[in-house]
Structure 1
Amino acid sequence: MQQKTAVISGANRGIGLEVARQLAALNYTVYLGSRNAEAGQKALSHFADTTQVYPVMLDLDNPSSFRALSALLNERHGHLDVLVNNAGVLLETDLTADSTSTIEPYILRRTMEVNFLGAVGLTNQLLPLLLKSDAPRIVNVSSNMGSLGMHAAGAPLPHTFAYNTSKTALNSYTIHLANAYKESGMKVNSAHPGWVKTDMGTQYAPLEVAEGALTIIRLATLPADGPTGRFFHMDEEIPW
């Protein structure tokens, strides 16, 4: 039986770090992605047992880091079981304002580069290894702020245009990828962690980090008859 392996981007803090902790506790070999080596090494202090946790440099601006990680995984394991696309940015600072007509082109472009294009690039690089898994799982960490259905229905969500649009695009990738690999047994889903106490969520958020990781862990460990191409918070399905 293959040793279960997982890669989490943006895993040196917040929800990504907690997902890494929980997967390590489930006996996965975890590759903890961070933008620089020092941050990854510091994150190891949060693990009681680091024998199956490996910090790796994973910069969504740097496709060479994707290739290096792919080569490392291929050499050590020959496959990958779980990919959690967690790394992301929220560059709009005023969550009470509607930035639709005032968004700076740089902010929009930068947000899309990290939250969408970076996730697509990393995933596509690792797909050959995922397809060698007995049960490949991809979790795209999205947000209900990217739900067009909720916005169209007038849900009281922030109108941070760049961030919301990047998550909508990531959700589109979830659907396309799930459809493309439906016959392979791969499960690809989007997760809304909830409003969580992190640097991005602030201390005013109602959920603790461990609670924010629950949806991601559930989708990363789905059984063979689990859903694919869907969008969830906990057990609740969110409209696209």
Structure 2
Amino acid sequence: MTTKTNALITGANKGIGLETARRLAAMGFKVWLGARDAERGEAAARVLRNEGLDVEWLALDVASDDSVAAAARNLTAQVSSLDVLVNNAGIAPGYVDALGPDGRYERPPSREDVADMQATYDVNVFGPVRVTQAFLPLLLAAPAARIVMVSSYLGSIARAAGNIQSPNVMGYGSSKTALNAITVAFARELSPRGIMVNAAAPGYTATDLNAHRGGRTVQQAARVIVHLATQEAGGPTGGYFDENGPLPW
């Protein structure tokens, strides 16, 4: 078993997850790329290894109890502890189809597809719960583990209620609101055990999730995630942040 500091990132074969993996690996972590597709996961890991980084693919579908359990067993057989967990995997089915010609979201809550919402919650809400619970023994074995939940500005009820210009994306937005609540719940439990748990809002980033219409780069988006994943003891836990500081719930 390796004793090197280890980080696991879900949904890490592309976008913000891949850039976060690159940043953490460059800082000296051995990074495990959680991805459900073997070909894509291996290809992403190979790209980073070609950059001289210590990266491996880990088969992990956050929407599957069996896959998450198998991934936890697999990693436990290879490492003695897990120092960082980034719950990054997320989906927004139907989001791109609801974008108008000007890039604005045009599907009101009265026409939201309930099946899309259920799929969204299974990945964006229940996924981080499954993964955090499954890997908790490894996290507790680290001297001071960090958990980062990748949230969104759309998860802020205060921002949505106070800004009529904010996109009214009920399915995806409410999933991130729920993720924020989950962040606080895990932080309350794990803080006495030395684990910090925070939510990060990377901003509207150009990724496959929004057909690359976002205005921020993955390099910009990864900053707050990496900061929260590597903060020193005594830092905040149970918070919701962008790169400029705390956000309103």
**1:214 Cα deviation after fit:** 0.5
Map of 1:210 onto structure 2: 219
Distance 1:31 1:102 in 2: 39
Distance 2:25 2:37 in 1: 21
Which one of 139, 154, 161 corresponds to residue 152 of structure 1? 161
Identity, in percent, stands at 39
TM-score relative to the length of structure 1: 0.95
SS in structure 2 at match of 1:213: helix
**1:8 Cα deviation after fit:** 0.5
Distance 1:57 1:157 in 2: 36
Map of 2:27 onto structure 1: 26
Give runs of aligned pairs for residues 186-201 of structure 1, distance below 5 A. Answer: 186-201=195-210
Distance 1:11 1:24 in 2: 13
Map of 1:229 onto structure 2: 238
Which one of 29, 52, 71 corresponds to residue 54 of structure 2? 52
SS in structure 2 at match of 1:61: coil
CA offset digits 1:142-184 (Å, max 9, x no partner): 0010101111212522111110111011000000110111111
Letter in 1 for 2:112: I
SS in structure 1 at match of 2:4: coil
Which one of 49, 68, 85 corresponds to residue 83 of structure 1? 85
SS in structure 1 at match of 2:198: strand
Letter in 2 for 1:74: T
Letter in 2 for 1:115: N
Mean Cα deviation higher: 57-66 or 114-123: 57-66
In 2, are the aligned partners of 1:44 and 1:50 still within 8 Å (CA)?
no
In 1, are the aligned partners of 2:25 and 2:53 still within 8 Å (CA)?
no
Name the CA shift for 1:70/1:45 in 2 (closer, same or farther; >3 Å).
Answer: closer
**1:46 Cα deviation after fit:** 2.7
**1:56 Cα deviation after fit:** 1.3
Which one of 132, 136, 148 corresponds to residue 127 of structure 1? 136
Mean Cα deviation higher: 185-194 or 51-60: 51-60
Distance 1:60 1:186 in 2: 21
Distance 2:40 2:52 in 1: 15
TM-score relative to the length of structure 2: 0.91
Aligned residues: 240
Map of 1:94 onto structure 2: 98
Which one of 51, 68, 76 corresponds to residue 70 of structure 2? 68
SS in structure 1 at match of 2:209: coil
Unaligned regions of 5+ residues in structure 1, if any?
none
